[in-house]
Amino acid sequence: MKKAALFVTLALGLSALGSAYAADPAFPKVDAGKKVTLEVWSWVPGLDKTVAAFTKAYPNISVKVVNLGGGPNTYTKLQTALKAGSGAPDVAQIEYGFLPAFADTGGLQDLSKYGANDYKKYFVPWTWGQVSPEGSAVYAIPQDTGPFAMVYREDILKKYGVAVPKTWAQYAQAASVVNKKSAGKVKLGNFYSTFAPWFMALAWADGAQFFKRDGDGWVQTLNNPSAKKVLNYWYGMIKKGDVSTINAFSADYWNAAGAGTVASNFEAAWGPGGYAGSMKDKSAGLWRAAPLPQWTASSTIKSGNWGGSSNVVTTQSKNPKEATLFALWLNLSSSAISANWVNGGLFPASDAGLDLPVLHEKTKNPSKFFGGQDISAVYTQASKGVNVNFQWAPWFPFANDNFNKQIDLMIKGKLTPDQALDAWQAETLADAKKEGYTVR
């Protein structure tokens, strides 16, 4: 049987920044005399402190924050609860790429019933396309985004006499120079071999389409031309030893970045906060951010997006109106947006949030860690250049895991880049069909 399939279209492109965040929008009205307790599953650092401002504004609504760890840990428990019909929270954090799989369970509230569409105008347009793909039902409230840019050690590039690369050809040449001049001790970059969205963001910047809705079915092309171009490019540098393949977010990676043996990488807008938090004083002030290198030299910057999250309200919530209010407040309140940026480096999904002074504060992290550079300005530019035509499929969780398998075989020399992508396409396609999706 064919499953009901929700698709997420990423209609990316930031609208022009408005004036400073003069005031929060008027939030939905709820029964002021009704005492409510909401359970919220989220891995945002310091969220328990952030919600203190919410409970002050709404004293009859208590919020219990449960941090089950990053996405995979939360998703496993949430999927189990939704399928079982019990045990789910009122509100949960879900990354955009994984939202279709959860909506496909039928366990998420349509927030348009609680006035969510009235707040569409406050969000960066592409983010609303992710949570409301058909323009009517709303399956989540956008929280943060992850446009792609380059981060690099300014001191290392100067030491080896290479300029900040503006094209991918320049990047490969600089990687070769750094590797040779350092006798192999320093790598210009690092390939994240266990994160499909990182690779997909790089291909996305070249116009890649991995999933596409086709009538009542789907078309999947994980081995699309842009994906093959990007993977062959990186594999060439890996084979030469010009870049490393250290696991992302590992102690080994942070040690290498802090010591200067990895001199650059490509990170989403939330990445710099991780650099500041993970390396602390080690290499602080030495990092900078720059636009993503381009395949063809141009004044127009093209980029991709990695991650970013939304907040859903489950159908098991006994207080969906209050839960919707909380999800809107968390992502439109200036106090919440500011706290999420300072505590977790979450790049706002709200249009006005991008102009909050705290995002551009050069004396505080993550900008402080990046030498006092206004890195938010770099990432705002990146957001404007993200391809608008991008979709995720409900079976992306399988594709995400299968990517690791194929890339591991490629790095070990058992598959060529093209073979790895073809295997990724074939095995993921077979699993999607097995699960009941109409896809070719």
pLDDT in tens, 380-390: 889 888 877 78
Q: Looking at the domain assignment, is residue 389 inside a domain?
A: no
- What's the CA dihedral at 48, 52, 55, 61 to 10 degrees? 10
Shared-domain flag, residues 124 and 154: no
How far apart are alpha carbons 310 and 13 in whole angstroms? 18
Shared-domain flag, residues 175 and 265: yes
DSSP H helical ranges for 132-250: 154-159, 168-181, 196-204, 225-240
How far apart are alpha carbons 262 and 182 in whole angstroms? 11
How far apart are alpha carbons 64 and 367 in whole angstroms? 31
Which domain, by its residues, includes 202? 148-304+394-434
- The pLDDT, as a whole number, for residue 15 is 31
- The pLDDT, as a whole number, for residue 274 is 87
Query: What CATH number should be reported for the domain holding residue 354?
Result: 3.40.190.10
- The pLDDT, as a whole number, for residue 307 is 87
Q: Return phi, psi of residue 127, to 5°.
A: -70, -35
- The pLDDT, as a whole number, for residue 237 is 98
**What three-state secondary structure class fits 150?**
strand
- The pLDDT, as a whole number, for residue 214 is 87
**What three-state secondary structure class fits 155?**
helix
State the average pLDDT over residues 145-150: 94
Percent above pLDDT 70 for the chain: 95
Q: Is the pLDDT of residue 2 over 70?
A: no
Q: Looking at the domain assignment, is residue 59 inside a domain?
A: yes
Cα 254 to Cα 76, 187, 319: the distances in Å are 27, 14, 42
State the average pLDDT over residues 24-48: 93
Q: Looking at the domain assignment, is residue 427 inside a domain?
A: yes
- The pLDDT, as a whole number, for residue 72 is 85
Percent above pLDDT 90 for the chain: 77
Domain count within the chain: 2
Q: Looking at the domain assignment, is residue 222 inside a domain?
A: yes
Shared-domain flag, residues 154 and 281: yes
Q: Looking at the domain assignment, is residue 192 inside a domain?
A: yes
Shared-domain flag, residues 299 and 343: no
- The pLDDT, as a whole number, for residue 326 is 98
Range with the poorest average pLDDT among 8-22, 285-299, 300-314? 8-22
Shared-domain flag, residues 176 and 123: no
Q: Is the pLDDT of residue 162 over 70?
A: yes
Residue 299 confidence class, pLDDT cut points 50, 70, 90? confident
Range with the poorest average pLDDT among 85-99, 129-143, 192-206, 398-412? 129-143
- The pLDDT, as a whole number, for residue 384 is 81
DSSP string covering 165-176: PSBHHHHHHHHH
Shared-domain flag, residues 129 and 233: no
Q: Looking at the domain assignment, is residue 72 inside a domain?
A: yes
Q: Looking at the domain assignment, is residue 257 inside a domain?
A: yes
Q: Return phi, psi of residue 241, to 5°.
A: 80, 15
Shared-domain flag, residues 158 and 61: no
Q: Looking at the domain assignment, is residue 374 inside a domain?
A: no
- The pLDDT, as a whole number, for residue 14 is 29
Shared-domain flag, residues 118 and 169: no
Shared-domain flag, residues 223 and 295: yes
State the average pLDDT over residues 90-95: 97
Q: Of 175, 144, 83, which Cα lies nearest the Cα of 344? A: 144
Range with the poorest average pLDDT among 6-10, 87-91, 311-315? 6-10
**What three-state secondary structure class fits 66?**
strand
Taking a C-beta distance cutoff of 8 angstroms, is the pair 156, 263 a contact? yes
Where do the DSSP E strands lie in 281-358? 287-290, 309-313, 347-348
